[in-house]
A and B are shown apart, each in its own frame.
Chain A
Amino acid sequence: MTTSRQIEMTVNGRTRSMAIAAHHTLLEVLRDDLGLTGTKECCLVGECGACTVLVDEVSVDSCLVLAAEADGACVTTVEGLAVGGRLHPLQQAFLDTGAVQCGFCIPGQLIAARALLARSPHPSRAEIEEGLAGNLCRCAGYEQIIEAVLAAAALDETGDRAVADGDAHAPAMGDRASTPNADVAPQ
């Protein structure tokens, strides 16, 4: 049985060509083969989001992706967020709001938040709750995490405060992602 495969993927901007076991997940390859242990292993069933990474800019649970599937893909992990020794605005916002407690869930939260802001630069609170619903925090720092994402969304790309302070709190009008929350499933 052929269980070993040669793959090539770009991880945090660096191209890696490597032999992997066909039954290994992307999470295992990132952590064990590449030593990128920022991405966490926890539930292994797609419920906690600790293993969240971007594959071609799409957020996925890396415990539920085979490494073989990532052949040819661009993968971003938490190690790829800071550029030139400067923290990503989301990372800085998480520190500033005290969102990091034990820290275990934070790499996944950061990556999920980055995917959310890429899709919706000024999310409403409800959108953030929905966008991060797949990321559990055992320390239950949810309020601070939401605050951090709101704060990061208030920064423009250069890292400066947006002119209009209330901006980040305005619901993204006409944004598709906010629609289902409104009238799906009375709970």
Chain B
Amino acid sequence: MRAFAYERPTRLDDAIALLASGEAEARPLAGGTDLIIRLRDGTIRPQTVVDIKGLAELDGDIRDDGEYLRIGARTVMTDIMGDERIWHDYQALAEGAAVVGSAQIRNRATLAGNICNASPAADTAPALLVYGAVVAVAGPAGTRRIPIDDFFVSSGVTTLAAGELVTSIELPRSPIRPGAVHVRRTRRRGHDLASVTLACAVLADGTTRLSYGSLGPRPVLVVDETGVLADPAAPDGAKMRRFEELFVGASPSARSMRASPEYRLAMLQVLGIRAVSTAIARLADGKGRA
């Protein structure tokens, strides 16, 4: 690996100052499961790697403040899939975290890193989109809060400015828990990137929020307000027709080795049907338990 300097600041301001000089100069290191691969293969060549795990202001805690469930930027996938509140109230996120990489990867990979890396196939992104998560960031110009749908731009690109760091990811507390699920399609069982990754939340008011990844440059959120998808009595054919309308933006790359565009588009429909029916069943199960 090419040489670089390693800094482990303890104050957020110092980290921001180090990172503000731009990506050619400095890159933040959290879990390292993407960063170290790219440092080694030379696709990134920063002068300095800034380890943000020493920052007092950044924690790995999951806290409920009544309005939001706040997931600290250092929270790793293992902690997300081990949190009872997340299983209970944000099951699609727990399921998405549970299929990231392997146990070893989940012990290191952070939720914040997963979204900052902005892979179109990120398994936690669809769930964050259906739950309407908010990304809290701090940077040279102060702090701001970015709705997750405004965070992703394209593969590897987010709306974070130079020197901005994610400090936490916040999930709105909703009085009525949706029925939700995460599903994915991979080439093999176990450790693999998704050919299609999808989350679905069916709300009590008949709205269905669906988000899919790995079918274009960024994960996409679509919302069905017609009630067709959430209707347990609606035939699959009607739901498929609704999917045709909702999924027009899906544009899988023809260059990917993992699956052909035709296969991905077909699987998007199949997973969509499965996800909607699971979410409907979970909503029915969960009534009154929220």
Contacts and interface: CB of A to CB of B under 8 A. Distances in A.
Interface of A: 1-3, 5, 21-25, 44-47, 49, 52, 58-61, 63-66, 68-69, 112, 115-116, 129-131, 133-135, 176, 179-180, 183-187
Taking chain B's interface residues, is the majority helix, strand, or loop, or is none over half, making it mixed?
mixed
B94 A25 contact: no
29 contacts: A1-B5, A22-B5, A24-B1, A25-B1, A44-B40, A46-B104, A58-B107, A59-B107, A60-B104, A61-B105, A64-B105, A65-B108, A66-B36, A66-B51, A115-B103, A131-B103, A133-B102, A134-B103, A134-B104, A134-B105, A135-B102, A180-B81, A180-B98, A184-B95, A185-B95, A185-B99, A185-B182, A187-B186, A187-B189
Interface size class, chain B: 35 or more
Interface of B: 1-6, 8, 29, 32-33, 36-37, 39-40, 47, 49, 51, 53, 81-82, 87, 94-95, 98-99, 101-105, 107-108, 181-186, 189-191, 274, 278
Contacts of A180: 81, 94-95, 98-99
A31 to B, nearest CB: 14
Given A65-B32, A176-B82, A185-B183, A3 B104 contact: no
Contact of B47 (A1, A65, A129): A1
A186 B183 CA distance: 7
Contacts of A25: 1, 36
A58 B102 CA distance: 13
B4 A22 contact: yes
A66 B103 contact: no
